[in-house]
Structure 1
Amino acid sequence: MSTHESDTQEHEPKNFLDHAMKWLGDVASLLFLLTVLISFYEVVMRYVFNMPTMWVHESASFIGGLLFVLGGSYALATNRHVRVVLIYDIVSGKTRRILNVFHHLMGMLFSGLMVYASFHMVSAAWYSPWGGFKLESSGSAWDPAFPALTKLWILIIFSIMFLQFLLHLVQEIAAFRSTK
Structure 2
Amino acid sequence: MNATKAEALATIIFSGLVLNRQDGPGGIKENPAQIGGSMAVLLKFSGLVDRLSEIVGKFSGYLVLACCLISAGNACIRHVFNYSSNGWLEIQWYLFGFVVMLGASYTLKLNEHVRVDLIYGAVSERARLWIDVIGLILFLIPACLYLAWLSWPFFTLSYLQGEMSSNAGGLVRWPIKLIIVVGFVLLAIQGVSELIKRVAALMGILQVDTTYEKPLQ
| TM-score, normalised with respect to structure 2 | 0.68
In 2, the alpha carbon distance for the partners of 1:56 and 1:143 equals 8
Partner of 1:87: 119
Aligned to 1:121: 154
Q: Does 1:20 align with 2:37?
A: no
Q: How does 1:132-143 map to 2 (within 5 A)?
A: 134-143=161-170
Q: Is contact 1:35-1:63 (8 Å) kept?
A: yes
Deviation at 1:52, TM superposition (A): 2.1
Amino acid at match of 1:119: W
Change (3 A) 1:33 1:122: same
Secondary structure at the counterpart of residue 59 of structure 2: helix
Which residue number in structure 2 is paired with residue 56 of structure 1? 88
Deviation at 1:86, TM superposition (A): 4.8
Query: Where does residue 153 of structure 1 map in the other structure?
Result: 179
In 1, the alpha carbon distance for the partners of 2:67 and 2:189 equals 30
Does 2:132 align with 1:100?
yes
4+ runs deviating over 6 angstroms: none
Identity, % of aligned pairs? 26
Q: Residue 149 of structure 1: CA displacement?
A: 0.6
C-alpha distance in structure 1 between counterparts of 2:27 and 2:154, whole Å: 36
RMSD: 2.2
How far is the alpha carbon of 1:101 from its aligned partner?
0.6
Matched, 1:9 2:26: yes
Q: Contact 1:10–1:79 at 8 Å: present in 2 too?
A: no
In 2: Cα distance, 1:54 partner to 1:165 partner: 37
Q: Which has the higher contact order (CA 8 A, sep 6+)?
A: 2
Name the residue aligned to 1:4: none
How far off is 1:95 after superposition? 1.1
Letter of the structure 1 residue corresponding to residue 155 of structure 2: V
Letter in 1 for 2:190: Q
Match of 2:67 in 1: 35
User: TM-score scaled to structure 1, two decimals?
Assistant: 0.80
**Whole-angstrom distance in 2 between the partners of 1:74 and 1:139:** 33
Shift of 1:175: 2.0
Aligned residues: 164
CA distance in 2, matches of 1:123, 1:63: 20
Classify 1:83/1:54 alpha carbon distance in 2 versus 1 (closer, same or farther; 3 Å). Answer: closer
- 1: CA distance between counterparts of 2:131 and 2:124? 10
Would the aligned equivalents of 2:144 and 2:185 in 1 still touch at CA under 8 Å? yes
